[in-house]
Amino acid sequence: MTAAVQEPQASVPAVGSTAPDFELVNQHGEPVRLSSFRGSNVVLVFYPFAFSGICTGELCEIRDNLAVFEDANATVLAISVDSKFALRAYAEQEGYSFELLADFWPHGGVARDYGVFDGDSGMARRGTFIIDAEGMIRYVVVNPRGQARELAEYRKVLRDLSIVNLAGRH
């Protein structure tokens, strides 16, 4: 009998640290690089799998409240370990207009960099990282399996970021 080899897990990046850069393909196979969004806020939403119940509920809530993010000059990037093909079907079925990124290969590589990859199940945990216009992480939440995230928290953090950004422009 052979034992499974566990890869070391990166820790979740702390608030105030620079967000690890990455490039993944979106649901259309187009490359998307995190650092290309400098100058605007980014909301990274890691989720386990396309078409699963809680994930669909969370992403539909974002879809239905996209103005909250747009008003805060924030781009939503939703990341799972699914292939771009599954993500395209998922986005079309649910009417998502934001980017769904495939952390498919190396499997969960970006989720590992953000400390949210669950090696036992081969999926990303529910982690959200709100990144400011300079690339600094300003908010982190990682929820346990089966527990949805609260959109109200995103609203509060984005509102606070908008206030800080406005104050910095004077």
Residues acting as catalytic residues? 55
* CA triple 4-109-98, angle to 5 deg: 135
Amino acid at 102: A
Strands of 41-46's sheet, edge to edge? 31-33, 23-26, 99-102, 74-80, 41-46, 126-131, 137-143
Question: What whole-number distance in Å separates Cα of residue 93 and Cα of residue 51?
Answer: 9
